[in-house]
Amino acid sequence: MVLSAALFIIGVAGVMMRRNIIIIFMSIELILNAVNINLVAYANQVQNAIGQVFAIFVIAVAAAEAAVGLGIILAFYRNKETVNIDEMNLMRW
Amino acid sequence: MAESIAFYTLSAFILGFALLVVTTKDTVHSVLFLVVDFLFVAALYVLLGAQFLAAIQVLVYAGGIVVLYLFVVMLVNLKRPPEEYRDPRRRSMLGIALSVAVLLELTAIGLYSRSYPAPALAAGAAAMPVTGNTEQVGWLLYTSYLIPFEIASMLLLVAMIGAIVLAKREL
Q: Are A20 and B84 in contact (CB under 8 A)?
A: no
Q: Do A84 and B95 count as a contact with CB atoms less than 8 A apart?
A: no
Chain segment B131-152, per-residue pLDDT in tens: 667 777 788 778 888 888 888 8
**Confidence at residue B159, expressed as pLDDT on a 0 to 100 scale:** 87
Q: Which residue, among A28, A68, A60, has the nearest Cα to B154 in the 3D structure? A: A60
Query: Within a 13 Å sphere around the CA of B106, how many CA atoms are in the beta-carbon half?
Result: 18
Measured between its terminal Cα atoms, the distance across chain A in Å is: 41
Query: Chain A closest CA to B40's CA: distance in Å?
Result: 11
- Complex-level ipTM: 0.77
Does the structure show a pLDDT above 70 at B128? no
B6 touches chain A (CB under 8 A): no
Band the pLDDT of A33: cuts 50, 70, 90: confident
**Confidence at residue B130, expressed as pLDDT on a 0 to 100 scale:** 60
Chain segment B74-114, per-residue pLDDT in tens: 877 665 555 555 555 566 677 777 778 877 887 787 777 77
Domain ranges for chain A, please list them. Answer: 2-86
Chain segment A52-70, per-residue pLDDT in tens: 888 888 888 888 888 888 8
Band the pLDDT of B22: cuts 50, 70, 90: confident
Q: Do B82 and A82 count as a contact with CB atoms less than 8 A apart?
A: yes
Chain segment B38-82, per-residue pLDDT in tens: 888 888 888 887 888 888 888 888 888 888 888 888 877 665 555
Domain ranges for chain B, please list them. Answer: 1-79, 132-171
Q: Identify the burial level of A58 via C-beta atoms within 10 angstroms of its C-beta, where 0-12 means exposed, 13-18 middle and 19 or more buried.
A: middle
Mutate to test the interface with A, among B46, B74, B99, B160 (most CBs of A within 10 A): B99
Fold (CATH) for A2-86: Helix Hairpins (1.10.287)
User: Facing residues of A20 across strands?
Assistant: A84
State how far the Cα of B156 lies from the Cα of A60, in Å rounded to an integer.
7
Q: Which 3 state secondary structure label does DSSP give A20?
A: strand
Residues 6+ apart with CB under 8 A from B27: A20, A22, A23, B73
**Confidence at residue B13, expressed as pLDDT on a 0 to 100 scale:** 82
Q: Which of B15, B87, B95 sits opposite A3 (nearest CB)?
A: B15
The reply to whether the predicted model has a pTM over 0.80 is no
CA geometry: angle at B82 spanning B99 and B70, to 5°?
A: 85
Domain B1-79 listed as CATH 1.20.120.1200: yes
Q: Which 3 state secondary structure label does DSSP give A84?
A: strand
**Confidence at residue B27, expressed as pLDDT on a 0 to 100 scale:** 80
Chain segment A11-26, per-residue pLDDT in tens: 666 566 566 677 778 8
